[in-house]
Amino acid sequence: MSRYSVSQIQVYLQCPLKYRYRYIDKVPTPEFVETTDTLLWTLVHESLQNLYNNINIFKTPTKEEFIADYYGLRSKKEKETVENWWEILNHHADLTIDDFKRRWEFYLSRYYDKHAPFKDLQVISTEKQISFQLDEWINFLGFIDRLDKVWDTFIINDYKTNKNLPTEEKDQYIEQLTLYWLWIQQKYAKYFKNLKAKLYFLHFDIEDEWEITQDKLAEIKNKYLNIIKEIEQNKVQYAMWSKKIFEANQSSLCVWCDYQSICPLFTAINSDDEVEWELSDKSIVALVDQFVEVSNKISELEKEKDWLKLIFQKYVMKKDPNDEKSDFIINGSDCDVKVTKSPKMNVVDKDRFLQKVKDLWLFEEYADISRQNVNNLFLKSWKVSLGDFMWAVEQDVMFIVKKVSKKKK
């Protein structure tokens, strides 16, 4: 059973190499540092969670109580995170921490004004971690900010605190909330007739609501299943030592990537030295099987090569029955084959050969009667005459067959 989430898939789509570092190699990332943005996200979600949990028990707070609750959460968080607010990382050099505090209060205050008195809705759950089956083999994890019931319609709500209004990424949110329909269907199918999703862009006071249809769900589910299939195939290849299967994809998001210090695009190190990682027992067995298969193929091919060499040798002997030429070129389509006839000496009587070598005071040098040594004795050193070894050796011819490039005309 494999486990995925929308954010996991998004990492893969952004950069397959980043996916590998994070989810396969599990390369440690720098320790999490609270930033003004993450704090803003947490406080807004917690404030709205408290608000809707109170609405659900018919204890709807006044606006003053709601904002007071936010201040309570904020000072608790301040104590929890750091003594000094200035230690919280602020990516926005032109904004102070006080600017952020004002911003959060403004979002919540405007939200309250717009939605009070919160009638006609029942809250089914808030800040809920969910897990459902995408298919028989794939378990999907997600998070729902809030699930409401309004008459016979269920609505999945998601809060966004982005200061830039997303365009393309919005598709990602739509896909995410549409997929979560599967969880709702698996849990509450008989309780609703319609299902909707709603995005709240708090900074822009934009609420985007749409109906989730079976067709849209099928299309998105199919898309995610195909991406997951590709990831799973790449994982197998990677386990089989295809180290470059998860390729780096450089983009403007690289500046935020935790793995820049080891990414080959930024460090120019040979990817073989990138990260040390361990082979599982399963992958080592697969590699041994692969090695055996390759070795078997090589020995089959070697046999085939020897057989072809023999054919070329016979071809040359037929073409040149009187041994007039030493080199032959046999033409192929892209390359040729060169057959060279070369003399070779065979020792036919070892005792006589060695005795003769001793008689000629050459024992030290030629006691080793390897083919190369014997050839050297007669064909290169010119130290002896063939007549001296008449009964001990015989002369033969060997054929050297080599692939050669075609000569340019």
> Which residues would be at the binding site for ligand SF4 (CB under 6 A)?
15, 17-18, 248-250, 254, 257, 259-260, 263, 265-266
What's the token pair of residue 1?
């059973």
Closer CB to ligand SF4, residue 10 or residue 373? 10
To ligand SF4, the closest distance from the beta carbon of 19 in angstroms equals 9
Cα 1 to the chain's mean position, in Å? Answer: 19
To ligand SF4, the closest distance from the beta carbon of 301 in angstroms equals 39
What is the SS3 assignment for 290? helix
To ligand SF4, the closest distance from the beta carbon of 261 in angstroms equals 9
Closer CB to ligand SF4, residue 267 or residue 342? 267
Cα–Cα distance, 266 to 254 (Å, whole number): 9
Closer CB to ligand SF4, residue 13 or residue 284? 13
To ligand SF4, the closest distance from the beta carbon of 327 in angstroms equals 54
| C-alpha distance from residue 97 to each of 35, 84, 92, 102 (Å) | 10, 11, 10, 9
To ligand SF4, the closest distance from the beta carbon of 277 in angstroms equals 15
Maximal C-alpha separation, the chain: 122
Closer CB to ligand SF4, residue 173 or residue 266? 266
Query: What's 192's DSSP letter?
Result: -
What's the token pair of residue 262?
């080891």
Closer CB to ligand SF4, residue 134 or residue 254? 254
Closer CB to ligand SF4, residue 254 or residue 347? 254
Omega before residue 117 within 30° of 0, cis: yes
To ligand SF4, the closest distance from the beta carbon of 280 in angstroms equals 23
| C-alpha distance from residue 92 to each of 42, 201, 371 (Å) | 18, 20, 80
Cα–Cα distance, 143 to 177 (Å, whole number): 9
Closer CB to ligand SF4, residue 250 or residue 381? 250
What's the token pair of residue 303?
């046999």
Q: Position 53: which residue type?
A: N
Cα–Cα distance, 376 to 366 (Å, whole number): 9
Relative to beta strand 153-160, strand 2-5 is unpaired
Closer CB to ligand SF4, residue 18 or residue 101? 18
- Taking alpha carbons only, the member of 13, 202, 188 closest to residue 105 is 202
